[in-house]
Structure 1
Amino acid sequence: MHFTAPARRSTGLRDADGMAVASFVLGLLGLLVLNVVLGPVAIVLASAALWRGTARRGRAFLGLGLGVADLLVLIAFMQADQTLSWSF
């Protein structure tokens, strides 16, 4: 009897789904604060969720896009201010 295999599979899917949601939330939050940190974290989490086969592919792709947008916003503000950081 193999009772542990389905539990591991469902836990792995839940982990991947959680990563997809976390990447979306962190990417969204990264547009406002700490985009130099939260952007790459959102990209890594979204990539890991997609690689693990998440059921929430849309959220993972949104997290990936928001992570990239975080870095693009950082670059835009760095170019405008001629500094390594930006603030409101």
Structure 2
Amino acid sequence: MTTLTTAPATTATTAPAAKRPSAARSSQADGMAIASFVLGLVGTLVLNVVLGPCALVLGTLALTRGTTRRGRALLGLTLGAADLLLLAVLTATDGTLSWHLG
């Protein structure tokens, strides 16, 4: 008499469950990369002192959490640093913490 053994049915249902936290973490990191880019871009125009550091923090977190949008995270880091550099230059020329063009 021959008996057939099959794989347990639970392995098929637990495999996607094991991938969910990684996928959720990756999508959160992707969102952070996009937010870093957008905040860095908007920060070049307004609220440099607030949006620049936010872009730097979010870009760093996105890279450490393994985002698939690495280029956007790096652009967010670059724009965040540019925000702070722009604020420093314009503040030095104006002599105050607030600045305006014109």
TM-score clears 0.5: yes
Smaller-chain TM-score range?
over 0.9
Quick check: 1:61 aligned with 2:74? yes
Q: CA deviation at 1:85?
A: 1.4
Which one has a bigger Cα radius of gyration? 2
Letter in 1 for 2:31: G
Q: CA deviation at 1:4?
A: 2.9
Runs of 4+ aligned structure 1 residues displaced above 4 Å come to: none
Residue matched to 1:38: 51
2:86 to 73, 79, 82: 73
Secondary structure at the counterpart of residue 66 of structure 2: coil
Which stretches in structure 2 are left out of the alignment for 5+ residues? 1-9
Q: Counterparts of 2:70 and 2:19 in 1: how far apart (Å)?
A: 21
Aligned residues: 88
TM-score normalised to the size of structure 2? Answer: 0.83
Residue matched to 1:6: 19
Q: Counterparts of 2:19 and 2:53 in 1: how far apart (Å)?
A: 32
What is the identity percentage for the equivalent residue pairs of Structure 1 and Structure 2?
Answer: 58
Instruction: Give me the CA root mean square deviation.
Output: 0.9
Secondary structure at the counterpart of residue 76 of structure 1: helix
Deviates more, 1:59-68 or 1:4-13: 4-13
Higher relative contact order (CA 8 A, sep 6+): 1
Residue matched to 1:28: 41
Which stretches in structure 1 are left out of the alignment for 5+ residues? none
TM-score normalised to the size of structure 1? Answer: 0.95
